[in-house]
C-alpha cells in the first residue's frame, strides 16, 4: 500500500510539472491521455488495487480518486489559462482602431433613362398632367384594333410584335401565338383607350412604361425600350396647343437654345400626325450613328386623336377633341448626355452608369 501511495504522489507531482510546461491545448491533451487515458499511468495503478488486502482498499481507493480529481482539476485550470491567453492574443491582433475613418459606402442612383422619365413627369406636371399606367402584357384589341389598326391594315407591319405563346404549345415543340391575342405591348398607345374609358374629361394623362418589339439591336434601336405617352381630351384643343407645349418641354429638358422642328408624319391613331425632331446633341447636327447621319433625332410622334379612337374611348368626336404624343426617353437621354449608342443603357456596366450620379 505504501508503494502505491508513493506512486500516486509521484503522478501528482509529474502532472503539476508537465502541465506547468505545456504551452498549447494539444500538449495538455497529450498529458491527459498519458495519465488518465484508458492505457494511462493512473489507470494502470488502479488496476493494482485487486492485489491489495481488502481492509486497505477503501483508503487506497479514496487516495486514487483524490489524485484523479486533482489531476483533472489541474488540466482544466491549465486549459482555461491557455484559452484565455489565446483569446487575449487574438483580440489584440484583431483590434479595431475606432478612431480610424470608416470604409466608404457607394451610394446608388437612378438609371439615366429613369432620371429623364422622372424629369419629364415633373415638367408635364406643370401642364396639369397626371400619371396613368397600363399593363405591359396587352391584347391585340387594345394594342391595335381600338387604335384604328385592324388586322388587314398596312400599318400593322410597322410593329414587329412579340406574341405570347399559346399555353402548352412550347412544351409540345410547336410554339404558336396565343389564340386570345395576348402580346407584349409594342407601344404605350393602348393606354389611351384605357385612360379614356376610366376617366372623365378633361383628360390630361402621361403614361410611362416599357415596350417590346422584335427588332434588330443597333446604336439607336433595342428590342426592349421605354416610352412615355401623353393624352389630352377636352372640348377645345388644337394642334397649335400641342406644338407650343412640346417646344416648351424641349427647352425645359435641353435648354433654351435647342433646335426643334415639326414635319409631317403618319400614325393610324392620330390625324393629322407630326414628327417632332431635336437637333442632334451628340454630334451637334453634323451627323453621327445615333442620328443616322441626318443631324436630327426624332424623339416623339404626335397628332390630333383620330375620331375613330375617340369613339372607341367612349367620346363623341363632334363634342370632344384631343391630341396625343409618344416619346422615347431612351433616345432623349442619349441627346441629353451626348451618348452615341443606346445599347450602353442595358449593358449593366457600372463604369458607364456611375457617371450619372445626379439621378439620386
- Domains of the chain plus CATH, in order, are 2-93 (no CATH), 112-359 (3.30.930.10)
Q: How far is CA 73 from CA 69, 131, 177, in A?
A: 6, 77, 81
pTM metric for this prediction: 0.66
Per-residue pLDDT reduced to its tens digit, 107-140: 778 889 999 999 999 999 999 999 999 999 999 8
Cα–Cα distance for residue pair 267/270, rounded to 1 Å: 6
Cα–Cα distance for residue pair 111/228, rounded to 1 Å: 16
Percent of the chain's residues with pLDDT above 90? 34
Residue 70, SS3? helix
- Taking the CB of residue 11, how many other CB atoms lie within 10 A of it? 21
Per-residue pLDDT reduced to its tens digit, 275-329: 999 888 778 888 887 788 888 888 899 999 999 999 999 999 999 999 999 998 8
Residue 359 pLDDT: 55
- Please say whether the beta carbons of 142 and 148 come within 8 A: no
Cell of 56: 486497505
Higher pLDDT, 349 or 100: 349
Confidence of residue 255 (pLDDT cuts 50, 70, 90): confident
Amino acid at each position: 500500500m505504501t508503494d502505491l501511495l508513493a506512486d500516486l504522489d509521484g503522478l501528482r507531482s509529474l502532472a503539476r510539472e508537465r502541465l506547468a510546461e505545456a504551452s498549447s491545448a494539444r500538449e495538455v491533451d497529450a498529458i491527459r491521455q498519458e495519465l488518465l487515458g484508458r492505457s494511462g499511468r493512473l489507470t494502470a495503478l488502479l488496476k493494482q488495487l485487486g492485489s491489495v488486502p481488502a481492509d486497505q482498499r477503501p483508503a487506497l481507493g479514496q487516495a486514487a480518486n483524490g489524485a484523479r480529481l486533482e489531476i483533472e482539476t489541474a488540466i482544466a485550470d491549465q486549459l482555461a489559462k491557455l484559452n484565455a491567453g489565446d483569446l487575449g492574443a487574438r483580440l489584440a491582433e484583431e483590434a479595431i482602431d475606432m478612431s480610424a475613418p470608416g470604409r466608404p459606402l457607394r451610394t446608388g442612383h437612378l438609371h439615366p433613362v429613369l432620371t429623364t422619365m422622372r424629369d419629364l413627369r415633373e415638367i408635364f406636371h406643370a401642364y396639369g398632367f397626371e400619371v396613368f399606367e397600363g399593363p405591359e402584357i396587352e391584347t391585340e384589341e387594345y394594342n391595335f384594333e381600338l387604335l384604328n389598326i385592324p388586322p388587314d391594315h398596312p400599318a400593322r407591319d410597322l410593329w414587329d410584335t412579340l406574341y405570347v405563346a399559346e399555353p402548352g404549345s412550347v412544351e409540345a415543340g410547336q410554339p404558336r401565338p396565343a389564340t386570345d391575342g395576348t402580346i407584349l405591348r409594342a407601344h404605350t398607345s393602348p393606354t389611351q383607350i384605357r385612360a379614356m374609358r376610366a376617366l372623365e374629361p378633361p383628360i390630361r394623362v402621361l403614361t410611362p412604361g416599357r415596350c417590346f418589339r422584335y427588332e434588330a439591336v443597333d446604336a439607336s434601336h433595342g428590342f426592349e425600350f421605354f416610352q412615355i405617352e401623353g393624352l389630352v381630351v377636352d372640348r377645345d384643343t388644337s394642334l397649335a396647343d400641342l406644338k407650343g407645349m412640346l417646344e416648351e418641354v424641349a427647352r425645359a429638358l435641353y435648354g433654351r437654345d435647342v433646335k426643334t422642328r415639326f414635319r409631317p408624319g403618319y400614325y393610324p391613331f392620330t390625324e393629322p400626325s407630326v414628327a417632332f425632331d431635336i437637333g442632334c446633341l451628340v454630334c451637334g447636327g453634323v451627323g453621327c450613328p445615333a442620328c443616322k447621319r441626318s443631324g436630327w433625332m426624332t424623339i416623339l410622334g404626335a397628332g390630333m386623336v383620330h375620331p375613330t379612337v375617340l369613339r372607341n374611348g367612349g367620346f363623341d368626336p363632334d363634342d370632344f377633341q384631343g391630341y396625343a404624343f409618344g416619346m422615347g426617353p431612351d433616345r432623349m437621354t442619349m441627346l441629353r448626355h451626348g451618348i452615341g449608342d443606346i445599347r450602353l443603357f442595358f449593358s449593366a456596366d457600372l463604369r458607364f452608369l456611375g457617371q450619372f450620379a445626379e439621378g439620386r
